[in-house]
């Protein structure tokens, strides 16, 4: 990590990154369980193993749309939740896959990512408050996805 940020800030960023990664894993698990449940197959968990979050979001949406056990209101609720998941995972990816650096002019901490088929790197500010907000958002999504799944399982 860049030496420009003070040690306390570095430790806070690393702690919050770890919490964010843990919360993202919980969201991914819930998406995997929802998709597995919606397959209505005893092999659903096996079929969803190893799928990316992007693929799980698509599978959840498509399976919910095709399921007789999911009402149109429940399908819309899941669509809203999965849209929020996509946005949250884009933010997560910037932190997890971006190189951390410090702006030479302002001193602000940044992440930098290269993007497929793009020549210019993508920069985004990073700070403890944003990581805290993101971890809370992911925690709420995991809880809401769990609640959605429990409603579906209850019939």
Residue 28 inside a domain? The answer is yes
Residue 14 inside a domain? The answer is yes
| Model pTM score | 0.89
Residue 144 inside a domain? The answer is yes
Tokens encoding 135:
């971890």
Give how many domains the chain has, as a whole number. Answer: 1
* Cross-strand partners of 112: 99, 123
Instruction: Residue 66: give the domain boundaries.
Output: 7-95+128-154
Q: Note down pLDDT in tens along the chain; length 155 residues.
A: 444 567 888 899 999 999 999 999 999 999 999 999 999 999 999 999 999 999 999 999 999 999 999 999 999 999 999 999 999 999 999 999 999 888 888 888 899 988 888 889 888 888 999 999 999 999 999 999 999 999 999 98
Q: Determine the number of helices (DSSP H) and then strands (DSSP E) in the chain.
A: 5, 3
Tokens encoding 128:
């403890």
Residue 143 inside a domain? The answer is yes
Q: For residues 57 and 102, give the distance between their C-alpha atoms in angstroms, rounded to a whole number.
A: 34
Q: For residues 8 and 15, give the distance between their C-alpha atoms in angstroms, rounded to a whole number.
A: 10
Residue 107 inside a domain? The answer is no
């Amino acid at each position: 990590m860049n030496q420009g940020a003070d040690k306390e800030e570095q430790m806070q960023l690393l702690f919050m990154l770890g919490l964010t990664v843990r919360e993202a894993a919980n969201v991914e698990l819930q998406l995997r369980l929802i998709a597995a449940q919606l397959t209505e197959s005893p092999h659903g968990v096996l079929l969803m193993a190893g799928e990316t979050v992007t693929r799980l979001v698509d599978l959840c949406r498509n399976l919910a749309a095709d399921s007789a056990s999911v009402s149109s209101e429940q399908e819309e609720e899941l669509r809203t939740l999965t849209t929020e998941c996509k946005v949250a995972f884009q933010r997560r990816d910037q932190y997890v896959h971006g190189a951390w650096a410090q702006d030479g002019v302002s001193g602000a901490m940044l992440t930098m990512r290269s993007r497929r088929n793009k020549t210019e790197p993508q920069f985004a500010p990073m700070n403890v408050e944003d990581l805290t907000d993101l971890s809370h958002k992911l925690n709420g999504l995991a809880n809401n996805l769990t609640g959605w799944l429990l409603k579906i399982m209850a019939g």
